[in-house]
Amino acid sequence: MVTIADSVKINDALKNGEIDANVFQHEPFMKQAAKRLNADFVMLNRSYTTLSGLYSKRLKIKSVAEIPVGATIAISNDDSNQDRALKFLKHIDLINLKDKSSEYYSLKDVLPHPKKLQIKELDNYAIVRALEDLDLAVTSATFLVQAKVSLTPIVIDEVGMANKNYAVGLATMKDKVNDPNIQKLNQLLVDPKLKDFINTKFKGTIAAVF
């Protein structure tokens, strides 16, 4: 097992043959990386989905209605997660969006809204490090846990969590799909014992999808 604390480098390592598979990403993110690297990535079994939502360390608020006009908010700077964050913010009526100008929603698709949020694009790991300097952030509970930050979400992205396209799965190269070791790992990701472990150990952070 290899641990790489960089969501970009993990897929670089997969393409370069430094690792045989990885388990950290959802399919839209994988497809984005595959396009960037011109790589034949394949998503196999999906195992779990992460709790994602709107958080604040600076503002002591409990509802979207309490968010002040002009508040600063951080969202992911990668295409697929930024698309998810913007759709979430529109769903909870914090921004307006025009029709997508490309495959994913981006900041250029944001329309004027009474809340006038000041949106900042940051790397997923940088968002958690910058919480002291932000009013709000759309992020995943797993990044908070990794940074040992305990926060209660103002609101959870329930629509995103219900979308299995955002479930984390096993990614590998197309030519390694039938490798016995890859297939063994693939089955372990949907083992009932893993579901029990996830439900017991990570309740409120991630949820099994199998």
pLDDT tens digits, one per residue of 183-205: 999 999 999 999 999 988 887 78
Could you tell me the strand order of the sheet in which 168-173 lies?
21-25, 168-173, 41-50, 206-208
Higher pLDDT residue, 137 or 207?
137
Give me the CATH topology for the region 7-50+163-208: D-Maltodextrin-Binding Protein; domain 2 (3.40.190)
CATH architecture of 52-152: 3-Layer(aba) Sandwich (3.40)
Question: 74-97: per-residue pLDDT in tens?
Answer: 999 999 999 999 999 999 999 999
Dihedral pair phi/psi, residue 50, rounded to 5°: -95, 145
Residue pair 193/202 in contact (Cβ under 8 Å)? The answer is no
Q: What is the total residue count of the chain?
A: 210
Q: Which two tokens stand for residue 75?
A: 């969202």
Averaged pLDDT score across all residues of the chain: 94
* pLDDT for position 5: 66
- What residue ranges do the domains of the chain occupy? 7-50+163-208, 52-152
| Model confidence, pTM | 0.86
Q: Matching CATH topology for 7-50+163-208 and 52-152?
A: yes
- In angstroms, the CA 155 to CA 139 distance is 11
Q: pLDDT above 70 covers what percent of the chain?
A: 100
Q: What is the pLDDT of residues 16-56, one digit of tens each?
A: 999 999 999 999 999 999 999 999 999 999 999 999 999 99
Q: At what angle do helices 27-37 and 79-91 cross, to 10 degrees?
A: 140
